[in-house]
Structure 1
Amino acid sequence: MDKHKEKAIEILVTINQNYIKPLEVMLYSMRLNNPQSQFRIWVIYEDISDAALNNLKRFTDKIGFALKSLAMNQDSQFPQSLINLHDYPKEIYFRLLCGNILPASLHKIIYLDPDILIINSITQLWDLDLKGNMFAASVHEGLTDIMSSINNIRLGTKYGYFNSGIMVMDLDKMRKMVKLRDISAVINKHHDALILPDQDILNYLYGKYILKIPETRWNYDARAYSIYLVKSSGKYNLEWVMKNTSILHFCGKPKPWQDKNNTRFKALYLNYQQIVNKLIASQ
């Protein structure tokens, strides 16, 4: 028997209510392109209504996913310096703190941003050997890695600048090493230098514990098609992407569900979105 039928692939998302609709599109794309795999979806949240969670549960039931939602402890003491940093929501930090939020029986999980499409199997990502590292993630060498040297100077790091949107996580190591007090200390010390706070913190504190994985397969920056194509001497064309890339990541703004987004993959995203809307309307 296929081992992926025996044990569910564990998926983590940390969102607020504004990202439920993109999450549904992402989950549907994962179901469609991983038809033989079982998935358990963990949602860590703080401000999602019961009605919205019930609607999400009906949707995940319809596409055959188990859904587990965990409310962040309202008594969790997040420093004001963290909460107010560039007006980013607290949810962006939940992924780094998830080791102590998720059940101790979980040892590994894949974190996914909701602004992605999964267009091929992700079972090999789940089966990845972390080789003793705490995380596996990609460096966007196609577009944003031109800033790596600047980021190294800005943050005092010596590694590539990893994107935090798709990560394989060793939860046991995170429970030992990731502490809210350390995250708060970085924010207090480097407040003015932080641009993408959770991602900067990931690289600053834990960069040396991250295994680098290929971005063109596991974290393809949807903005950078032309750059990937040129750097690969024409190899990474649309046909190659559709056959070989597993995760398309719609980094930055505007997002593909917004009017001003004009990436090459917007039509693909809107097609998935339209199917999801029809599925939900049929419930």
Structure 2
Amino acid sequence: MTQHTLEIVVTCDEGYLGPLRTMLLSLRANNRAVSIRVWLLHRGIPQAALESLALFCGRIEIELAPRMVDQALFAHARSSERYPQEMYYRMLAPHVIDADIDRALYLDPDILIINPLTPLFDIELGDRIFAAASHTDAIHPATALNNVRLNTSELYFNTGVILMDMPRAKALIDPDEIFAFAMEHERKLLFPDQDIFNALYSECTLPVPDQVWNFDARKYPDNIIRTGGEATLDWVINNTAILHFCGRDKPWAPKYRGQFAALYKHYATLARRI
């Protein structure tokens, strides 16, 4: 299938609007030939900040569709500093977005898009409802640990990038099931939203290569070893579509010294100029 509009889902608060702008600029810069609509799911970003973001998006020819999430959805949800409401938003997107769309791609704000996304949107899902990447090999000990911890048999998927078949995801996802699982397994959850997605939906998720669709920027040296020397910097620039700055150290921090610091600062500077 070829989807003529890239439907992108993001969630953040006002504090992450700067990184979001950088991600959106990189998205547009490397997806010139398609229309893009961004669904921003939020709890209460001030109107002035939304208007400023809409102006920015207009200048780079991206349609912004902000949606304030209905708080009634969370009447039975476990919510705290460790379990903020926003952690649920990516899984609830099929229920929150009020539009008839076939596929949507959820993206964390701490991402750069450095090659076209159309091949991911066009991927054949078969009987799967989602597509995502795992950041550990199937034989990695962390995979076995996560399988035991969450009672799963699939790869452990990173939820910073999730392609969703929206109609089928809406039929599958039950918000009350998500909230009940979070409450029942609170002590087991190390990465709450990611653990919940894997426990409930990993069997419905198609694995895609992380080197292309969710490259963990921290693991550049590991990926060179894992790929037998193939995933060099030139290979990443030419083949990776989604570069993900996972973990606590973020590329917009002044002291960040990661492999792709200069690339990130380039896009961030361009975004600030707009």
Both structures adopt the same fold (TM-score exceeding 0.5): yes
Structure 2 residue 26 is matched with structure 1 residue 29: yes
Q: For each residue in 1:165-222, what CA deviation from the matched residue of structure 2 results, as whole angstroms up to 9, or x when unmatched?
A: 1111011112111111111121122110101111000000111000000100000000
Tell whether the 8 Å contact from 2:154 to 2:202 is kept in structure 1 after alignment.
yes
Aligned counterpart for 1:83 among listed residues 64, 74, 79 = 79
How does 1:19-58 map onto structure 2 within 5 Å? 19-58=16-55
Partner Cα separation in structure 1 for residue 14 and residue 141 of structure 2: 33
Q: Distance in 2 between matches of 1:239 and 1:189?
A: 46
Give 1:147's aligned residue: 142
Aligned to 2:272: 277
State whether residues 142 and 224 of structure 1, in contact with CA within 8 Å, keep that contact through their aligned partners in structure 2: no
The 1:145/1:250 distance shift into structure 2, 3 A limit, reads farther
Whether the 8 Å CA contact 2:136–2:142 is kept in 1: the answer is no
Q: C-alpha separation between the residues in 1 aligned to 2:121 and 2:85?
A: 27
Residue 77 of structure 1: CA displacement?
2.6
Aligned residues of 1:218 and 1:245 also touching (Cα < 8 A): yes
1:8 aligned to 5, 8, 17, which one? 5
Instruction: Give the alignment's TM-score, normalised by structure 1.
Output: 0.92
1:180 to 168, 172, 175: 175
Find the counterpart in structure 1 of residue 114 from structure 2. Answer: 119
Report whether the alignment pairs 1:92 with 2:87: yes
SS in 2 for 1:138: strand
Segments of 4+ moved more than 3 angstroms: 142-146
> Residue 235 of structure 1 corresponds to which residue in structure 2?
230
1:133 aligns with 2:128: yes
* Matched residue SS, 1:233: coil
2:68 to 56, 67, 71: 71
CA contact under 8 A between 1:162 and 1:199: conserved in structure 2?
A: yes
Establish whether residue 258 from structure 1 lines up as the match of residue 249 from structure 2. no
Residue aligning to 1:195: 190
SS at match of 2:74: coil
Cα RMSD of the aligned pairs, angstroms, is 1.7
Sort the Cα spacing of 1:145 and 1:26 in 2 relative to 1 into closer, same or farther, 3 A.
Answer: farther
How far, CA to CA, are the matches of 1:70 and 1:13 in structure 2? Answer: 10
Q: Which amino acid aligns with 2:113?
A: I
Kindly provide the amino acid, as one letter, of the partner of residue 24 in structure 2: L
Q: Offset at 1:17? A: 1.1
| Shift in CA distance, 186/232, structure 1 to aligned 2, threshold 3 Å | same
Maintained 8 Å contact 2:137/2:143: no
Contact kept, 8 Å, 2:213 with 2:241, in 1: the verdict is: yes
Q: Distance in 1 between matches of 2:116 and 2:170?
A: 29
Distance 1:140 1:146 in 2: 12
* Counterpart-to-counterpart distance in 2, 1:145 and 1:277: 40
**Alpha-carbon distance between aligned partners in 2 of 1:251 and 1:49, rounded to the nearest angstrom:** 27
Tell me the amino acid that sits aligned with residue 131 of structure 1. Answer: G
Instruction: Report the Cα offset of residue 104 of structure 1.
Output: 4.5
- How high is the sequence identity, in percent, across the aligned residues? 37
Residues in 2 aligned to 1:189 and 1:43: alpha-carbon distance in whole angstroms: 29
Counterpart Cα distance in 1 of 2:60 and 2:138: 34
3-state SS of paired residue (1:97): helix
Q: Could you tell me which amino acid in structure 1 is paired with residue 17 of structure 2?
A: I
SS in 2 for 1:10: strand
